[in-house]
């Protein structure tokens, strides 16, 4: 890999979440689950970088409670940055930029979520390489996924004119919030909108400049941490300063305010795996139309998403479009269209203090 | 209880079945399951006799594989007759009549299934007492349940004119097979048909006469066994002779052929508990409309029948009219309307030789 093509992937693995309960728990968040393949999503995300970046250039940013599990799923030469406290994406990305900038101020970072799925790895590499080229010129670059349905669960990117960098790059006119159903339909039909997949590519120095301009409290913290990068005092500096970062997303803090944002439109079989309902986007259904893991006996049952408990058969008779998840200590049966409501179960368990299941 | 009112209840507990899989197994058939209350059906059936018959007058007929479990659920003074091989209801009832006749030839037997539910015990007693009075006069008496829906899963009894015994007793015009939907509707609307609930009341000598007339091979066997009743050789005689009985139901063998059959129409909150779908007939639903056993967290879910595994919560989100049964070693999720198809699961398990789950 020629130096000019060097990419520093930054995998954001700080997420916690409950949309995959009972598979996901506080100590076993989505990125640690084998949802898209037989490997955890974080392993898939790392493996997807083969041929694009060297393992020693990969940074993983995560919280304390998952650091150990994540390290166990990644090669030793991957650098894991452990946030002493979660401070949302602006701080996490700023931290990664600070670490990269210490050795390579104009180094190009590619920020990637740890818990999404990508089916077409070649197209993914092509897109990231193009984004990196544009970013090397100084632009902040975001990846915009060509929408395939009027999804109301994502933010959208409104695409403007061609970007001076050429190729597929466009200017971003605006980032727009999650739309209602009708608005989402208009967006998709217009052809002017892309899904915001939370993937950003930029030079370390440019991002730190933008943070200094738009989020000076964060820039001050990062400047203190920068002094300790590569020293034995790094962890202590991180613990001391990082919690003072304001907790805000990179979208709000920087991307929506910066001037020169480019977007690379892309289609690489992306799914955010937002809930069990999205598993059929990335996992093949069996001959009966069910996406299953485990020993399933299905009769007149179709469109179900089933994860059985090892060694325990799940019999489905005449039921359709359900999510059935058996983790041994809890069982979920959910209408596939209502998988978002699983959080109500988690809230109820929290309310009654059932920590064993959270 | 005056002698003339003495009833010998005969509980037929030889049934095996798969309609309650995965709760029911070969070694744990329906009558051993706590389906209508927190007690096994056989215990409910026995308890229902309190005030109607003395425990020492109760006979239970069952197969070898469940005798031990049944004995454990019943008082010691209940007599358990263990069939060396299952030979259907004619032989089982003939055996019970033989045992009663040895001490009390004109004794009145009341044959009762072991795995049904009765909600109104007082009405049940009233009906059986009236049936016993008619039977004491020499008639074979059956109990006919006033139908509440055009059920296609039961046989029907066509009611004729008043029986000379008076009271509510009617003559039986005919026993009819399970009807199709339209026929069942006509039956219910006509008011001339009752459900055949498999409950028969008769004098021991009269039943043995009928068996001799209509099923002489069985009568010969029973005559041999009769010689050993009350002796140490009873079990040996049973083992030697009983398997030679023809395997035929009492309905086909006797009831449909005998001349003087009376029926007592009855409504005592009866349910045959034919499948999980019928549990709501006998178990109250919770405030959300679900019939549940265990730790259930329901959100936007109604009309479900749920049996959880002890200590393991079942979360239901947005799903309706399902049967969800978790036995720890197997999980069933079934449309309530299609509970009859559970046998397909059992057949599949048999096919692959999964004896652990059968």
pLDDT in tens, B155-204: 999 999 999 999 999 999 999 999 999 999 999 999 999 999 999 999 99
Cis peptide before A79 (omega within 30 of 0): no
Tokens representing A200 are 């950003």
Q: In the prediction, which pLDDT does A351 show? A: 96
Residues across chain B: 358
CATH for B3-271 is 3.90.550.10
Identify the contact set of chain B against chain A, taking CB-CB distances under 8 A.
21-22, 297, 299-300, 308-309, 312-319, 322, 324, 326, 328-335, 337-339, 341-342, 344-345, 348-349, 354, 357
Task: Give the whole-angstrom CA distance, residue A178 versus residue A197.
Answer: 12
Q: Is A300 in contact with B354 (Cβ distance < 8 A)?
A: no
Chain A residues in contact with B300 (beta carbon < 8 A): 338, 341
pTM of the model: 0.90
Residues of chain B in contact with residue A299, where contact means CB-CB under 8 angstroms, are 341, 344-345, 348
What mean pLDDT do residues A273-295 have?
94
Q: Tokens at residue B275, please?
A: 């499948």
Who has greater pLDDT, A1 or A353? Answer: A353
Distance from CA of B31 to the nearest CA of A (A): 23
Tokens of B19: 């309609």
pLDDT, averaged per 10 consecutive residues of chain B (358 residues), comes to: 77 91 94 95 98 97 96 97 96 98 97 97 98 97 97 96 97 96 97 97 98 97 97 97 97 92 97 94 94 96 97 97 98 96 96 92
If 0-12 CB within 10 Å is exposed, 13-18 middle and 19+ buried, where does residue B2 land? exposed
Residue ranges per domain, chain A?
Answer: 3-271, 276-357
Percentage of chain A modeled with pLDDT above 90: 96
- Find the closest chain B residue to A329 by CA distance: B312
Per-residue pLDDT at A327 exceeds 50: yes
pLDDT digits (tens, 9 = 90+) for A214-239: 999 999 999 999 999 999 999 999 99
Are A313 and B331 within 8 A, CB to CB? Answer: yes
**Number of residues that make up chain A:** 358
pLDDT of the residue at A1? 40
Per CB-CB distance under 8 Å, the chain A contacts of B329 are 312
Dihedral, CA of residue A12, residue A16, residue A17 and residue A21, to nearest 10: 120
Residue A356 has pLDDT above 60, yes or no: yes
Query: In this complex, do A314 and B331 lie within 8 Å of one another by their Cβ atoms?
Result: yes
- Chain B: nearest CA to A280, how far in angstroms? 19
Q: From CA A211, how far away is CA A208, in angstroms rounded?
A: 5
User: Nearest CA to A323 among B317, B331, B334?
Assistant: B317
């Amino acid at each position: 890999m020629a130096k000019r093509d060097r990419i520093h992937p930054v995998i954001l693995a700080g997420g916690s979440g409950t949309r995959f309960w009972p598979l996901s728990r506080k100590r076993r968040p989505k990125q640690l689950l084998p949802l898209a393949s037989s490997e955890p999503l974080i392993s898939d995300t790392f493996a997807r970088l083969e041929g694009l970046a060297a393992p020693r250039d990969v940074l993983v940013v995560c919280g304390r409670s998952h650091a150990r599990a994540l390290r166990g799923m990644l090669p030793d030469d991957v650098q894991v940055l452990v946030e002493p406290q979660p401070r949302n994406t602006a701080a996490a990305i700023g931290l990664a930029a600070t670490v990269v900038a210490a050795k390579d101020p104009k180094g190009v970072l590619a920020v990637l979520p740890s818990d999404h799925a990508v089916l077409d790895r070649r197209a993914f590499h092509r897109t990231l390489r193009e984004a990196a080229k544009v970013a090397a010129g100084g632009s902040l670059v975001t990846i915009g996924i060509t929408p395939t349905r009027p999804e109301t669960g994502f933010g959208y990117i409104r695409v403007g004119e061609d970007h001076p960098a050429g190729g597929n790059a466009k200017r971003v006119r605006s980032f727009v919030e999650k739309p209602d159903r009708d608005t989402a339909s208009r967006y998709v039909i217009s052809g002017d909108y892309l899904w915001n997949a939370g993937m950003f590519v930029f030079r370390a120095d440019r991002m730190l400049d933008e943070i200094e301009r738009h989020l000076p409290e964060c820039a001050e913290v990062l400047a203190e941490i920068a002094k300790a990068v590569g020293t034995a005092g790094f962890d202590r500096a991180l613990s001391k300063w990082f919690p003072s970062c304001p907790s805000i997303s990179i979208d709000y803090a920087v991307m929506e305010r910066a001037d020169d944002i480019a977007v690379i439109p892309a289609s690489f079989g992306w799914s955010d795996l937002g809930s069990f309902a999205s598993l059929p986007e990335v996992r093949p259904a069996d001959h009966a139309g069910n996406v299953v893991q485990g020993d399933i006996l299905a009769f007149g049952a179709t469109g179900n998403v089933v994860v059985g408990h090892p060694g325990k058969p799940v019999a489905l008779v005449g039921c359709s479009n359900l999510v059935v998840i058996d983790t041994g200590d809890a069982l979920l049966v959910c209408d596939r269209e209502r998988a978002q409501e699983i959080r109500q179960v988690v809230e109820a368990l929290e309310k009654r203090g059932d920590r064993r299941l959270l």
